[in-house]
């Protein structure tokens, strides 16, 4: 169907890691690194001097309706991530929690400090990262910064949200609070933005309504093989197209569900990663970028262009030394089916207005040229707000380390793009597997 992709550029070389075992070995390896004048003086390091950051442990709880509060969900994922990395809570220097609305959903605050207690992680520094529905991606950025800057040798991020105990109307109102006050007072919600943008996209690019439905069909099909997914059942195109209208032209199956869940990641300098795990059990964040777009959506020149996606991915590609064509697998923020089209184009995977053609041609299928949302995406896997961006990186980590089970594709380099609001804030991360 004439799907256009970007030009390929050489991938960045991976650094050699240090052998060893346990935290003591990691500390010895760190001590043996050459000391520079900058290290002695404590001056800020430029990006070229920053440590490359490895992910050495990852976990994800079952997503869906859970009989547990957010603190319990966070502790479940946190304990599993520590176990996966082979470390204890008190080994951590920094502990971050990505969470959008525990106060609004549960009346619960202070969750990072509570998690440090539950995991016996004191006296680790703790902080809560809130960037609306991209809180998980922002947490990944914060955790990466803490290690890359040298401020922490071991950092853990746990993202989570508890939502299903509230009604759909209540949950929608909490989420809608992230819109601009001018938009909110007129009753604007994210689903309404999605419907308006989908209508514009279909008209502008002569895309068939069925192409949006095929995104839902694909992601549900992928979710069947994800043991953590909220919906592990296949749906056919007729079911999607005949489901109730929510925001025309989008119907019920064009939207992700309300979800409880949590996910965790453990980070350390790449130079000591092998002191904790074998060489084929960790991935490197070779590039990461964050960006914002106008908070008032109607002020954008083209609502079908997500500037924050383009800007954050440009930064991530530049840091990693790659281009869009070097990405083998991607996890995108398909809160609505239309967002998979918009993000795939603004990430540079496909030319503007041709994301729908890629779906129609099977390019983004699990066995396609560029598999997108092998986890099932937010559509099938679920969308616990603070956990989603972490779970996206979890899936990419599993893919590039060859540990994705039935979902496994041929992938050395993966990308995760986590979106807040309707593209208001975005974090994009590039992961590379073992050399």
Question: Residues 6 or more apart from 137 whose CB is under 8 A from it?
Answer: 131, 290, 389, 392, 416, 417, 418, 419, 420, 426, 427, 428, 429
Per-residue pLDDT of the chain (435 residues), as tens digits, is 445 444 333 332 222 222 233 445 455 545 554 443 333 333 333 455 788 999 999 999 999 999 999 999 999 999 999 999 999 999 999 999 999 989 899 999 999 999 999 999 999 999 999 999 999 999 999 999 999 999 999 999 999 999 999 998 899 889 888 888 888 888 778 899 999 999 999 999 999 999 999 999 999 999 999 999 999 999 999 999 999 999 999 999 999 999 999 999 999 999 999 999 999 999 999 999 999 999 888 899 999 999 999 999 999 999 999 999 999 999 999 999 999 999 999 999 999 999 999 999 999 999 999 999 999 999 999 999 999 999 999 999 999 999 999 999 999 999 999 999 999 999 999 999 987
Q: pLDDT tens across 27-50, in order?
A: 554 555 444 333 333 333 345 578
Sign of CA pseudo-dihedral 85, 89, 90, 94:
positive
What is the pTM for the complete model shown?
0.89
Q: Report the mean per-residue pLDDT for the chain.
A: 90
Pure H helices in 119-233? 135-148, 168-176, 181-184, 190-204, 209-223
Quote the crossing angle between the two packed helices 190-204 and 337-346, to the nearest 10°: 60
Cβ–Cβ under 8 Å, residues 387 and 98: yes
Of 290, 426, 393, 391, which is closest to residue 64 (Cα–Cα)?
A: 391
Question: Residues 6 or more apart from 131 whose CB is under 8 A from it?
Answer: 98, 100, 137, 138, 420, 425, 427
Element holding 417 (H helix, E strand): strand 413-420
> What class does CATH assign to 22-36+49-165+261-282?
alpha beta
Let me know if the fold of 22-36+49-165+261-282 is the same as that of 171-258+287-432: yes
CA dist., res. 351 & res. 126, Å (int) = 42
Every domain of the chain and the residues it spans:
22-36+49-165+261-282, 171-258+287-432
CA dist., res. 118 & res. 333, Å (int) = 30
Task: Compute how many other C-beta atoms are within 10 angstroms of the C-beta atom of residue 407.
Answer: 21
Q: Does the 171-258+287-432 domain belong in CATH 3.40.47.10?
A: yes
**Bond into 249 cis (ω within 30):** yes
């Amino acid at each position: 169907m004439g799907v256009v992709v970007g030009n390929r550029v050489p991938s960045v070389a991976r650094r050699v890691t240090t052998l060893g075992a346990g935290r003591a070995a990691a500390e010895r390896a760190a001590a043996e690194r050459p000391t520079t004048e900058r290290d002695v003086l404590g001056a800020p390091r430029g990006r070229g001097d920053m440590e490359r950051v490895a992910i050495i442990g990852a976990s994800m709880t079952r997503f869906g309706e859970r009989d547990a509060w957010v603190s319990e969900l966070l502790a479940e994922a946190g304990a599993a991530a520590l176990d996966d990395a082979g470390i204890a809570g008190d080994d951590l220097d920094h502990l971050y929690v990505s969470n959008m609305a525990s106060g609004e959903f549960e009346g619960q605050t202070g969750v990072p400090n509570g998690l440090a207690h539950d995991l016996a992680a004191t006296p680790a520094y703790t902080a809560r990262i809130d960037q609306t529905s991209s809180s998980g991606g922002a947490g990944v950025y914060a955790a990466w910064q803490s290690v890359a800057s040298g401020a922490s040798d071991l950092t853990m991020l746990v993202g989570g949200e508890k939502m299903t105990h509230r009604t759909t109307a209540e949950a929608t109102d909490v989420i809608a609070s992230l819109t601009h006050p001018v938009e909110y007072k007129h009753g604007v919600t994210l689903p309404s933005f999605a419907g308006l943008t989908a209508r514009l996209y279909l008209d502008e690019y002569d895309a068939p309504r069925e192409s949006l439905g095929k995104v839902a069909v694909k992601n549900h099909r992928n979710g069947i093989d994800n043991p953590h997914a909220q919906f592990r059942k296949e749906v056919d195109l007729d079911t999607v197209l005949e489901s109730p209208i929510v925001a025309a032209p989008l119907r019920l199956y064009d939207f992700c569900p309300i979800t409880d869940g949590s996910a965790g990641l453990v980070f350390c300098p790449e130079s000591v990663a092998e002191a904790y795990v074998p060489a084929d059990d960790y991935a490197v964040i070779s590039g990461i970028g964050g960006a914002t777009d106008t908070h008032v959506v109607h002020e954008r020149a083209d609502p079908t262009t997500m500037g924050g996606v383009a800007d954050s991915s440009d930064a991530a590609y530049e840091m990693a030394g790659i281009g869009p064509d070097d990405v083998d697998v991607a996890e995108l923020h398909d809160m609505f089916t239309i967002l998979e089209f918009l993000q795939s184009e603004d990430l540079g995977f496909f030319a503007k207005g041709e994301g729908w053609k890629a779906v129609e041609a099977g390019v983004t299928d699990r066995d396609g040229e560029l598999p997108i949302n092998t986890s099932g995406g937010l559509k099938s896997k679920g969308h616990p707000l603070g956990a989603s961006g972490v779970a996206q990186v979890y899936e990419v980590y599993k893919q590039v380390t060859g540990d994705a089970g039935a979902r496994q594709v041929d992938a050395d380099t993966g990308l995760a793009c986590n979106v807040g609001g309707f593209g208001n804030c975005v974090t994009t991360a590039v992961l590379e597997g073992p050399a």
